[in-house]
Chains A and B, each alone.
Chain A
Amino acid sequence: MSNPQQLRYSKEHEWLSVAEDGVSTVGITEFAANALGDVVYAQLPEVGDTVTAGESCGELESTKSVSDLYAPVTGEIVEANQDVVDDPSLVNSAPFEGGWLFKVRVTGEPDDLMSADEYTAFTAG
């Protein structure tokens, strides 16, 4: 498993792109997707929702369990990935690409986001 260098990572296994025009793209990592197993249902936050770093903003359901989806940053949702709602298996097949979950206009970031190398070490532990 390789974690893209240009992304940042949360302890809850979300990845976050560097904001362009204040907007970051968020998904879950390949590590998290593998741990979940086949994702079959995704409830994503809706456009206009305000999400808070570290708080639940949706859920991902896999064959065996349902897991909360956490917001890695605080901000306003500007887009949810309808492709993932229609075909949740994208989260497994392309977690860093087509399986992204939402875009958020960032107003606040926690100070414990990790680099790719830090996250790789975090998940190896």
Chain B
Amino acid sequence: MSSNAPRRTALDALHRSLGATMTDFAGWDMPLRYGSERDEHVAVRTRAGLFDLSHMGEITVTGPQAAALLNHALVGNIASVGVGRARYTMICRADGGILDDLIVYRLAETEYMVVANASNAEVVLGALTERAGGFDAEVRDDRDAYALLAVQGPESPGILKSLTDADLDGLKYYAGLPGTVAGVPALIARTGYTGEDGFELFVAPSDAEKLWQALTEAGAPAGLVPCGLSCRDTLRLEAGMPLYGHELTTSLTPFDAGLGRVVKFEKEGDFVGREALEAAAERAAANPPRVLVGLVAEGRRVPRAGFAVVTGGTVVGEVTSGAPSPTLGRPIAMAYVDAAHAAPGTPGVGVDIRGSHEPYEVVALPFYKRQK
């Protein structure tokens, strides 16, 4: 990019007209919140929330060997994903370090859409392009081709149904189908990052405002409100979902992150990172790495990323994400802790909060699971 000015989504003017507090996020000027982030959080848990996620990075992979390329470039078995389905996976370096976590949608037999985190989109695009050498497949930068709106929360199916003829009842979690929403062509995906039922709608940027307005009107009777990135973070934290840069980094392999299940050694062909990841899997089996756990505060002080987890004056881990939980009414955190202190209910675990050791209860993740 030739300038350092933050990028703006197709909905930028709309956010400002709604009085959003904006924040810089991975080079994008994004809505942090419109009013109270706690109210937005509660709306998604109990009714519905509408998010602009246009900063996410879309990359299209097409061609006869698209599946083979993705199987080589990513750690998952992408060739086994059915048309119309989606999969959570990761892209790793040759040394096994996590470059990003991704959702890959198989749109057609030989067409996939890879969705990368905004902060990593450039890196993922570069890695996929480089790894495509020798494959009969094309990697296309589609970051500017899509705006992304998400409707999340228990009322979201009803809201969306009033705007589309698409078969939402037949659309399973982690699946996507092309359709029309409010007269706008959209890829309708049943995915999200909130722990609730919900949909992500990939549309042309020129259609984003029309879709936003239609969703706002259709959702008003159900209590839908616009939501910013602040409540998105507390929602995903309650749902125990990792965030790149916090729970996932290049210095961790998927096995160190407790997500070794996404690595599919049994798939056909070699893939980038295989050797290092096999070693990491053996290391993890022989000598358990730190474990990602949940911490629930007994008091009211909030553990933040980077704070030390302590027991008896010894550092046994580190907080990766922390926030007050609107649903639990207490501060919560995710932290990597030594395996010896990772069992739920382990006594004597605290977090060093600016010099004071505050007590926390070790719990299994997630903190919150929706009733189905």
A contact set with B: CB distance below 8 Å: 34, 37-38, 40-41, 61, 63-64, 66, 89, 92
Known: A37-B33, A40-B324. A63 touches B38 (CB 8 A): yes
The CA-CA distance from A8 to B259 in the complex, in Å, is 55
The CA-CA distance from A38 to B41 in the complex, in Å, is 12
Count of chain B residues near A, Cβ 8 A? 17
- Establish whether residues A61 and B301, one from each chain, have CB atoms under 8 Å apart when the complex forms: yes
A38 surroundings in chain B (CB, below 8 A): 36-38, 324
Q: Is there a chain A Cβ closer than 8 Å to B302's Cβ? A: yes
Q: Is there a chain A Cβ closer than 8 Å to B234's Cβ? A: yes
16 cross-chain CB contacts under 8 A: A34-B21, A37-B230, A38-B324, A40-B300, A40-B331, A41-B301, A41-B324, A41-B331, A61-B301, A61-B302, A63-B323, A64-B230, A64-B233, A66-B302, A66-B354, A89-B38
Q: How far is the CB of A87 from chain B (nearest CB, A)?
A: 11
The CA-CA distance from A38 to B323 in the complex, in Å, is 11
The CA-CA distance from A60 to B262 in the complex, in Å, is 40
Contact of B302 among A37, A40, A89 (CB under 8 A): A40
A34 surroundings in chain B (CB, below 8 A): 21
- Establish whether residues B301 and A37, one from each chain, have CB atoms under 8 Å apart when the complex forms: no
Q: Name which residue of chain B comes closest to A35, CB basis.
A: B21
- Establish whether residues B302 and A92, one from each chain, have CB atoms under 8 Å apart when the complex forms: no
A63 surroundings in chain B (CB, below 8 A): 37-38, 230, 234, 323-324
Q: Which of B21, B38, B234, B331 has the most chain A CB atoms closer than 10 A to its own CB?
A: B38
Q: How far is the CB of A7 from chain B (nearest CB, A)?
A: 24
Residue-wise interface mask of B (226-260) relative to A, using a CB-CB cutoff of 8 A (1 in contact, 0 not): 00001001100000000000000000000000000
Q: Is there a chain A Cβ closer than 8 Å to B304's Cβ? A: yes
Known: A63-B230, A63-B324, A64-B230. A41 touches B300 (CB 8 A): yes
The CA-CA distance from A125 to B69 in the complex, in Å, is 53
Residue-wise interface mask of B (196-238) relative to A, using a CB-CB cutoff of 8 A (1 in contact, 0 not): 0000000000000000000000000000000000100110000
Residue-wise interface mask of B (296-313) relative to A, using a CB-CB cutoff of 8 A (1 in contact, 0 not): 000011101000000000
Q: Name which residue of chain B comes closest to A92, CB basis.
A: B36
A41 surroundings in chain B (CB, below 8 A): 300-302, 324, 331
B37 surroundings in chain A (CB, below 8 A): 37-38, 63-64
The CA-CA distance from A34 to B22 in the complex, in Å, is 12
B233 surroundings in chain A (CB, below 8 A): 64
Q: Name which residue of chain B comes closest to A89, CB basis.
A: B38
Q: How far is the CB of B209 from chain A (nearest CB, A)?
A: 26
Q: Name which residue of chain A comes closest to B300, CB basis.
A: A41
- Establish whether residues B300 and A66, one from each chain, have CB atoms under 8 Å apart when the complex forms: no
Q: How far is the CB of B98 from chain A (nearest CB, A)?
A: 25
B33 surroundings in chain A (CB, below 8 A): 37
Q: How far is the CB of A61 from chain B (nearest CB, A)?
A: 5
Q: How far is the CB of B186 from chain A (nearest CB, A)?
A: 31
Q: Name which residue of chain B comes closest to A61, CB basis.
A: B302
Contact of B304 among A37, A66, A92 (CB under 8 A): A66
Q: How far is the CB of B352 from chain A (nearest CB, A)?
A: 14
List residues of B (275-318) whose CB comes within 8 Å of A's CBs: 300-302, 304
Residue-wise interface mask of B (154-165) relative to A, using a CB-CB cutoff of 8 A (1 in contact, 0 not): 000000000000
Q: How far is the CB of A84 from chain B (nearest CB, A)?
A: 12
Q: How far is the CB of B245 from chain A (nearest CB, A)?
A: 15
B300 surroundings in chain A (CB, below 8 A): 40-41
Q: Name which residue of chain A comes closest to B299, CB basis.
A: A41
B38 surroundings in chain A (CB, below 8 A): 38, 63, 89
The CA-CA distance from A12 to B296 in the complex, in Å, is 32
The CA-CA distance from A37 to B39 in the complex, in Å, is 11
The CA-CA distance from A38 to B33 in the complex, in Å, is 11
The CA-CA distance from A41 to B353 in the complex, in Å, is 13
B36 surroundings in chain A (CB, below 8 A): 37-38, 92
Q: How far is the CB of B64 from chain A (nearest CB, A)?
A: 47
